[in-house]
Amino acid sequence: QSALTQPPSASGSPGQSVTISCTGTSSDVGGYNYVSWYQHHPGKAPKLLIYEVSKRPSGVPDRFSGSKSGNTASLTVSGLQAEDEADYYCTSYAGSNTWVFGGGTKLTVL
């Protein structure tokens, strides 16, 4: 069970869109539609942004969207705002009641 691969960093200017990728294998991301994304401000509890690839919990702005193609899932943040600056993690169900996380992406709002 290897960690999912995310780019270490991403950046964009306010108002722009940024997409963060999350690459796994056919045993996790590609095999199940159970990819979720979390926003993590250091020192705080991670916050659920997206579940089941593209669904948003109530209260999460529609600026956050998710998708998947093959073994790669993606999180897109549209209309970047200063408060979006945080670490973002993907996770996927990996079968047999196990989960695997990505290494995290630090999003900088320029």
Partner 1 sequence: QLQLQESGPGLVKPSETLSLTCTVSGGSIRSSSYYWGWIRQPPGKGLEWIGSIYYSGSTYYNPSLKSQVTISVDTSKNQFSLKLSSVTAADTAVYYCARLHGNHYYFDYWGQGTLVTVSS
Interface positions with partner 1 (CB under 8 A): 1, 3, 6, 32, 34, 36, 38, 40, 44-48, 51-52, 57, 89, 91, 93, 96-104
C-alpha R_g of the chain? 13
Count of helix runs (H) and strand runs (E) in the chain: 0, 9
The answer for residues whose C-beta is within 8 angstroms of residue 9's C-beta and 6 or more apart is: 105, 106, 107, 108
Name the residue nearer to partner 1 (CB basis): 17 or 55: 55
Name the residue nearer to partner 1 (CB basis): 8 or 82: 8
For residues 39 and 66, give the distance between their C-alpha atoms in angstroms, rounded to a whole number. Answer: 13
Instruction: Report in angstroms how near the CB of residue 51 gets to partner 1 at its nearest.
Output: 4
Instruction: Report in angstroms how near the CB of residue 47 gets to partner 1 at its nearest.
Output: 8
